[in-house]
Amino acid sequence: MAKTALSYVCQSCGATSTKWSGRCDGCGEWNTIVEEKPLSQGPAKKSLGNARGRAIALTDLSTKEAPPPRTAAGLDELDRVLGGGLVPASAVLVGGDPGIGKSTLLLQAAAAFAKSGLKVVYISGEEASAQVRLRAQRLGLEDAPVKLATETNLRNILTTLDDIQPDLAIIDSIQTMWADNVDSAPGSVSQVRAAAHELTTFAKSRGSAVILVGHVTKEGALAGPRVVEHMVDTVLYFEGERGHQFRILRSVKNRFGPADEIGVFEMTGGGLSEVPNPSALFLAERGQPAPGSVVFAGIEGTRPVLTEFQALISPSPHSQPRRSVVGWDGSRLAMILAVLESRCGIPFAGLDVYLNVAGGMRVNEPAADLAVAAALLSAREDTSLPAETVVFGEISLSGALRPVSQAENRLKEARKLGFTTAILPTGGKIANAGGTALKQMDDLTSFVGEFFGAG
């Protein structure tokens, strides 16, 4: 029999290769390749051959079954991100940086679901039960009927869950779990993959919902296994800047609800508290209109959210000027700078450019293009946009402005927060601007001409 060959697995993207190297060919990360023994498998057959399998029963698409009954936690910000509550037999992955507040969130969620009548088991592989109890006490949750254990051995956990038959099992975290049939260290791709597979299979076969906690690498990928993301039904990211108290729970995949929905929380001394009106919170620190500051009327999932973009531009002492972005896509910034340079003739060469989204929010919408351009121009020309003005719209490479979806929703949220004027692209379906003064523009050049002189 052939010796089981070792394989080399990238801990960042899960790519396997037959030899070690310093840099992964799959994702380009350095020092992420680790030797792992492959799962014990029989010799692979060349083809399935002629032996017949069992015929599968096929059904129609139409159904008389009611949609799966969901359980709401009573935490609106969490329930919305889950698509209206927790679905039985579903597997949910909650990813986030270490220390961002995942354990706190899930302990609060465990207590909330337990109070809504679910049988909840919380298994921590990272903290001793006493530590978790102390945290529960601090959060005022010690009376919640949650069952607690500290364990990392997957076999023991599955046996326990099988006996107890909980409605919800929370595993904190997937990186600490180890399966005794897999020969690699806990946290390695094979272990994480095996643990996620066993636990999601458990969820499907026993009808329990399972929530897995996963740590994220510095690049923002779930440490090790992107493979876990496709095994589960729902992937949520818990994000935020360490220095800010705001935390955003974002659904990046949801088989039972809309993706890209967000829930906003504030980390306080007494745990996470819900933020029902995030726009007011993100704009709270904004003072008088200042050069470089622009309010963007965005949509996160189904909800309009206003955020402030801040830009700073200064002469660069370096031959290669800095382009630094927090909360927005760096390559999108480069694109907007290029459009401003080549379509509007406004050079940024020799200038350092800093762009920041206030409050630790991350914006992914291309609809923020025009707000970014406005912030850059406003910083460069040292002029502010008129007061009480929101901006949104996509910029194409030609310099034309493209209308974006849900304009009326954006305008409505802006009005609620006292904004009277909106700068936006021409077109788009706006039947009712509700009293907001609209300044609609065809292209970036006319925008520059109107607000920043000739540039």
Residues at the site binding ligand TYD, with contacts judged by CB under 6 A: 96, 98-104, 135, 138-139, 267, 269-271
- The one of ligand TYD, Mg ion, none whose footprint includes residue 197, by CB under 5 to 8 A per kind, is none
Our CB check for ligand TYD shows the closer of 92 and 294 to be 92
Token pair recorded at residue 358: 């206030």
Our CB check for Mg ion shows the closer of 222 and 371 to be 222
Distance CA 129, CA 127 (A): 6
Minimum separation from the CB atom of position 215 to ligand TYD (A): 8
- The one of Mg ion, ligand TYD, none whose footprint includes residue 410, by CB under 5 to 8 A per kind, is none
| # residues near Mg ion by CB under 5 A | 1
Minimum separation from the CB atom of position 305 to ligand TYD (A): 23
3-state SS of 310-352 is EEEEEECCCCCCCEEEECCCHHHHHHHHHHHHHHHCCCCCCEE
C-alpha distance from residue 262 to each of 80, 210, 239, 387 (Å): 8, 20, 10, 28
Our CB check for Mg ion shows the closer of 172 and 413 to be 172
Minimum separation from the CB atom of position 98 to ligand TYD (A): 5
- The one of Mg ion, ligand TYD, none whose footprint includes residue 101, by CB under 5 to 8 A per kind, is ligand TYD
Distance CA 273, CA 427 (A): 40
Token pair recorded at residue 277: 């009106």
Our CB check for ligand TYD shows the closer of 106 and 375 to be 106
Distance CA 389, CA 404 (A): 17
Our CB check for ligand TYD shows the closer of 27 and 252 to be 252
What DSSP letter does each residue of 383-428 carry, written as one string?
Answer: -PPPSSEEE--EE-TTSBEE--S-HHHHHHHHHHTT--EEEEES-S
Distance CA 275, CA 263 (A): 8
- The one of ligand TYD, Mg ion, none whose footprint includes residue 286, by CB under 5 to 8 A per kind, is none
Minimum separation from the CB atom of position 140 to ligand TYD (A): 10
- The one of Mg ion, ligand TYD, none whose footprint includes residue 161, by CB under 5 to 8 A per kind, is none
Minimum separation from the CB atom of position 188 to ligand TYD (A): 20
- The one of Mg ion, ligand TYD, none whose footprint includes residue 271, by CB under 5 to 8 A per kind, is ligand TYD
3-state secondary structure of 154: helix
Our CB check for Mg ion shows the closer of 239 and 308 to be 239
Minimum separation from the CB atom of position 169 to Mg ion (A): 16
Minimum separation from the CB atom of position 136 to ligand TYD (A): 9
Minimum separation from the CB atom of position 126 to ligand TYD (A): 8
CB atoms within 10 A of CB 306: 24
- The one of Mg ion, ligand TYD, none whose footprint includes residue 104, by CB under 5 to 8 A per kind, is ligand TYD
- The one of Mg ion, ligand TYD, none whose footprint includes residue 307, by CB under 5 to 8 A per kind, is none
- The one of ligand TYD, Mg ion, none whose footprint includes residue 115, by CB under 5 to 8 A per kind, is none
3-state secondary structure of 309: strand
Among the residue ranges 96-104, 286-294, 402-410, 427-435, the one whose residues contact Mg ion (CB under 5 A):
96-104
Our CB check for ligand TYD shows the closer of 215 and 332 to be 215
Minimum separation from the CB atom of position 132 to Mg ion (A): 10
Our CB check for Mg ion shows the closer of 12 and 103 to be 103
Distance CA 137, CA 326 (A): 36
CB atoms within 10 A of CB 421: 16
Query: How many degrees, rounded to 5, is the angle at CA 428 between CA 445 and CA 276?
Result: 105
Q: For strand 234-239 and strand 209-215, is the pairing parallel, antiparallel, or unpaired?
A: unpaired
- The one of Mg ion, ligand TYD, none whose footprint includes residue 42, by CB under 5 to 8 A per kind, is none
Our CB check for ligand TYD shows the closer of 135 and 303 to be 135
Exposure string over 364-402, b if 16+ CB within 10 A, otherwise e: ebbbbbbbbbbbbbbbbbeebbeebbbbbbbbbeebbbb
Distance CA 33, CA 10 (A): 4
If one asks whether residue 279 binds Mg ion (CB under 5 A), the answer comes out as no
Tell me which residue has tokens 């802006």: 414
Distance CA 122, CA 147 (A): 6
Q: Residue number with the shortest CB distance to Mg ion?
A: 103
If one asks whether residue 103 binds Mg ion (CB under 5 A), the answer comes out as yes
Minimum separation from the CB atom of position 77 to ligand TYD (A): 16
Q: What's the burial of 349, exposed, middle or buried (CB within 10 Å: 0-12/13-18/19+)?
A: exposed
Binding-site ranges for Mg ion (CB under 5 A): 103
